[in-house]
Structure 1
Amino acid sequence: MTSAAPGAIPADSDKLDKGVLKIAGVTVLGAIMAILDTTVVSVALTTFQTVFEASTATVAWTMTGYTLALATVIPLTGWAADRFGTKRLYMVSIGLFLIGSVLCGLAWDITSLIVFRVLQGLGGGMLMPLGMTMLTRAAGPTRVGRVMAVLGVPMLLGPILGPILGGWLIDIASWHWIFFINVPIGLGALYAAWKILPKDTPTPSESFDFVGMALLSPGLAAFLYGVSSIPEVGTFAHARVLAPALIGLALMVAFVFHALRKDHPLIDLHLFRNRNLTVSVLTMSLFAIAFFGAMLLFPLYFQQVRLESSLSAGLLLAPQGLGAMLTMPIAGRLTDKYGPGRFVLTGIVLIGGGLAVFTQLTATTPYGVILPVLFVMGMGMGMTMMPVMSAAMSSLTHHEVARGSTLMNIVQQSAGSIGTALMSVILTNQFLSKPSGDIAQVLRDNPAAAADPQLLGQLLTPEQLQLVGQWSAQPGGLQAVLAGDMASGFGVTFIVATVLVAACLIPAFFLPRKRSEALPEGEQAQMPVAMH
């Protein structure tokens, strides 16, 4: 273990000093790059499809490959931080991410782009857990809520600002710049890390759990690969889904048996003896499935139903970010004083109420209704995700914080991938169950067919052509029918998201409702600096 960062403030202080805030700024810069790149690419998928003449399923792997790399590298972060030092590893991670970003911008075909996105993810996956470690070490356990609120800024705003930034860069420049924009941010983060982060001396750590790494990382990657394939094949019962998912589950089950027998496993499963951590994991799992799944739906609705541009779709999500910005720092401060329980419950109610409104979504729902509801949901988000993280972190001893942080990161990443796949499948199946669904799929895969009757005639069956003729004669034409059917599918999918959010109330009810006790001063000085 390394000693506390120079300038770390006493455990009983109520304020974050200038040194902690500087470290927070460095970690946020790194986290912004990693998290924005999970969403900024989403608005460029259609562009990739056109430029590289690739299918929708193929270009989707520019996002899936990045996500899998993020999840796979997380378990390695703790050992590497102990072995090489947090500052050094943080700078190496930023450098790796920068190299991947430049190569992505120079990609010559879809295959090279996917490979370079994986390289990006290998660097980006370490930035969030390393940032969480450095902030926890600098601020101390009684300020976990506030430092988690700092890290929550990129985590909550990434899904909102990503589409805005991506759409704007594509509109004014080209798709290359959604990757090149990382260069000035990354160079700034590297310089800031070099100047601001305290020097740490790597110390001998527990032996690396090679068996655990060989089981957990491939198992996690295989499982998420199977789950991520669900939207493409449209069903859970498909060999492309079941084979990797079952292999991944088998490897993870084997890891569980291995971890329960080993003295120093990669992830310490005995942490689940801690009631607060167990409750936090359950709450985070359900919340991440619903939250990240719902985040997928909003930009799709604006672009596919309301025919907004990428930039406009991103801007329409801004009220959500404003709501989160309003409540997140307040919730972080009050969580440290009164515990996370009451704030998480309130946040879940706000989010669930907002999603319930969207279950009645139509193709013409006024933006005067949609935008205020998004603002309210944003307020709920600011009161939910990071206080749940705080509940897990603040309840652990100084020997357990690193392993608990890693566990929460893995849970969040896995649950988010499951949520995205689940909502995608429900939405797709809802739409394809309608007569207009197959026609819309043809038009989406062949955009030129909408303006070329001869090509459209070659792609559609006689029955489908007859339906197109009938719908075209109705008020609003074919687009009005397609938009109405799509909006109906979104409404049903939001019902599922609402139920999942409501289910979060059950474990959240058991979250602590009082302030965490500070560790003794001597123990705080040994606050761990690495994740295992």
Structure 2
Amino acid sequence: MWRISLVIVFGAFVSMLDTSLVNVGLDAIGTDLHASLAQVQWVASAYLIALAVSLPLCGWLGRKVGVGRLWLAAFAAFTVASGLCALAGDVGWLVALRVVQGAAAGLLVPAGQTILGQAVGPQRLGRVMSILGIAVSSGPAIGPSVGGVLLNSLSWQWLFLINLPIGVIGIALGLRYVPRGERAEVPRLDWTGFALIGLGLPMFVYAVTRWGERATLADASVLVPLVLGIAGLVAFGLRRREHPLLDLRLFRDPVYAAASTSSAFIGAAMFGAMLLFPLYFQILRGADVVTTGLSLISLGVGTMIVLPLSGWLTDKYGGGIVALCGNVLSVVTTLPFAFLGAGTSAVTLQILLFLRGLALALSAVPAGTTAFAAVRREQLPDATTQVNILQRVGGAVGGALFAVVLAQHLPGGAEHAFQLAFWWVTGASVVAVGWTIWLFLAQRAAKAERPLATVAT
């Protein structure tokens, strides 16, 4: 079990690291490839859009070829695409290769979660998922600092070459330890459903990201993809089919519905704050990229230290109560940033970031783990895909919302703008507390029903 878990971590870490690692080098890439800022931005955007497109396919592909084979193929494609990105001679080829890289990354995390869920069962799922959570949470956190260190002494190509040794080791271990999974008879791919969600999800993510950049919904580059994205997602949700691309009937289970939707709101507060913290150090405190990355290490350390405990607590007491405590702690550790100014001591900031890392460990993983534990083994591919989609959407909306608040108030003073933005993060964490209360109550009701069902039997 632990061997499989540690191997799966390789794929999760490298895919999540890349979401923030390359962003640091966009300026260097644009200069070297003689590309404009608008062109080079697509190096980051293409990755995220392709990731969103491939996510809905994970469940269907996992059943068709075996989820272990899918994971190995996605990891291999990601690694090869990384090497080719370093060889790209112009920005057009680099963007195209980033599409391949992003599509592979979109399959790695949910496929890995499915492998673990099917291998260990619900009783130990929390402890195992907490190991995967270390990679998922630490990757984006350390990406800027790793990227800054690499660019300090090496060329931008090393932002991609760094993936090669990780990929080779991970694939070699995966070939030895990862179970290939069972091939199942699957219906034809729901092409109409894939077209709707394959258009709607990336359009929506792109639109809210642009909203955060432009700070207005009136811009056509925001409004048009936003309308198309919402229309596609709504049409997919309303569509009725015997064998849909994603089985939305899972949401009939109260525990699954509460846990999966809680993940979306937790994702909004978590990823939204991860966008603000680097800007906080760079704009308000004048730190460079490397210093900013090093300043955020305490956040990742707090998360990594407590995640194993978080998994054990989830298995023992249920994810609802653990996630509730984690979100309450998130509120407590975010609220001070709404009052702190530019002259706050570095020690105070590091203590708060460390404590917020503890809160993240106690909130994000338990909610997702509870969703996976609420479904049957054969439903795990759909569950992992849906939870990842909700986390992505929640993170995109949270990041865009907080970026808009910050951008609109920066002209009036950076200190006031950041304080106001952190009030919004605190509010998002309060909403997440409300949703995890629902999860806690749903879990308690489900436990109360089980003895009655046993007696009736």
* Structure 1 and Structure 2 fold alike (TM over 0.5): yes
Aligned position for 1:48? 29
Contact 1:339 1:516 (8 Å CA) reproduced = no
Query: CA distance change for structure 1 residues 198 and 402 in 2, over 3 Å: closer, same or farther?
Result: closer
User: What runs of 5+ residues in structure 2 fail to find an aligned partner?
Assistant: 448-457
Q: Distance in 2 between matches of 1:205 and 1:213?
A: 15
Aligned position for 2:164? 183
Aligned position for 1:506? 434
Aligned position for 2:372? 393
Which amino acid letter does the alignment assign opposite residue 49 of structure 2? Answer: L
Instruction: Report how far residue 291 of structure 1 moved.
Output: 1.0
Aligned position for 1:324? 303
Query: CA distance change for structure 1 residues 340 and 408 in 2, over 3 Å: closer, same or farther?
Result: same
Q: Which has the higher helix share?
A: 2
**Counterpart mapping for 1:346-425 below 5 A:** 346-425=325-404
Aligned position for 1:146? 127
Instruction: Report how far residue 324 of structure 1 moved.
Output: 0.9
Which amino acid letter does the alignment assign opposite residue 419 of structure 2? Answer: G
Q: Distance in 1 between matches of 2:280 and 2:96?
A: 30
Q: What SS class does the counterpart of residue 438 from structure 2 fall into?
A: coil
Q: How many residues align?
A: 445
Instruction: Report how far residue 232 of structure 1 moved.
Output: 3.3
Give runs of ≥4 in structure 1 deviating > 4 Å: 52-58, 513-517
Larger radius of gyration: 1
Query: CA distance change for structure 1 residues 210 and 390 in 2, over 3 Å: closer, same or farther?
Result: same
Contact 2:65 2:183 (8 Å CA) reproduced = yes
Listed one character per residue, the Cα deviations across residues 230-277 of structure 1 (whole Å, up to 9, x for unaligned) are 13332022211111111121122211221xx21121112222211112
Query: CA distance change for structure 1 residues 100 and 94 in 2, over 3 Å: closer, same or farther?
Result: same
Aligned position for 1:491? 419
Q: Choose the corresponding residue for 2:84, options 100, 103, 115.
A: 103
Aligned position for 1:303? 282
Aligned position for 2:60? 79
Which amino acid letter does the alignment assign opposite residue 125 of structure 2? Answer: V
Listed one character per residue, the Cα deviations across residues 414-452 of structure 1 (whole Å, up to 9, x for unaligned) are 111122222222211211x43xxxxxxxxxxxxxxxxxx
Which amino acid letter does the alignment assign opposite residue 16 of structure 2? Answer: I
Query: CA distance change for structure 1 residues 151 and 102 in 2, over 3 Å: closer, same or farther?
Result: same
Which amino acid letter does the alignment assign opposite residue 85 of structure 1? Answer: G
Instruction: Report how far residue 134 of structure 1 moved.
Output: 0.6
User: What runs of 5+ residues in structure 1 fail to find an aligned partner?
Assistant: 1-19, 435-484, 518-532
Aligned position for 2:49? 68
Instruction: Report how far residue 361 of structure 1 moved.
Output: 3.3
Q: What SS class does the counterpart of residue 340 from structure 2 fall into?
A: coil
Contact 1:337 1:514 (8 Å CA) reproduced = no
Q: Distance in 2 between matches of 1:33 and 1:232?
A: 26
Listed one character per residue, the Cα deviations across residues 320-358 of structure 1 (whole Å, up to 9, x for unaligned) are 111112221111011111111221122112211221111
TM-score under structure 2 length normalisation: 0.92
Aligned position for 1:92? 73
Q: Distance in 1 between matches of 2:37 and 2:426?
A: 28
Contact 2:50 2:99 (8 Å CA) reproduced = yes
Aligned position for 2:236? 255
Q: What SS class does the counterpart of residue 383 from structure 1 fall into?
A: helix
Listed one character per residue, the Cα deviations across residues 4-31 of structure 1 (whole Å, up to 9, x for unaligned) are xxxxxxxxxxxxxxxx111111110011
Q: What SS class does the counterpart of residue 400 from structure 1 fall into?
A: helix
Aligned position for 1:155? 136
Q: Distance in 1 between matches of 2:417 and 2:36?
A: 23
Query: CA distance change for structure 1 residues 230 and 137 in 2, over 3 Å: closer, same or farther?
Result: same
The question of 1:271 aligning with 2:222 is answered no
Query: CA distance change for structure 1 residues 408 and 171 in 2, over 3 Å: closer, same or farther?
Result: same
Q: What SS class does the counterpart of residue 89 from structure 2 fall into?
A: coil
TM-score under structure 1 length normalisation: 0.80
Instruction: Report how far residue 215 of structure 1 moved.
Output: 1.2
Aligned position for 1:466? none
The question of 1:195 aligning with 2:176 is answered yes
Q: What SS class does the counterpart of residue 300 from structure 2 fall into?
A: helix
Instruction: Report how far residue 191 of structure 1 moved.
Output: 0.7
Contact 1:361 1:488 (8 Å CA) reproduced = no
Contact 1:283 1:504 (8 Å CA) reproduced = yes
Which amino acid letter does the alignment assign opposite residue 167 of structure 1? Answer: G
Which amino acid letter does the alignment assign opposite residue 102 of structure 2? Answer: G
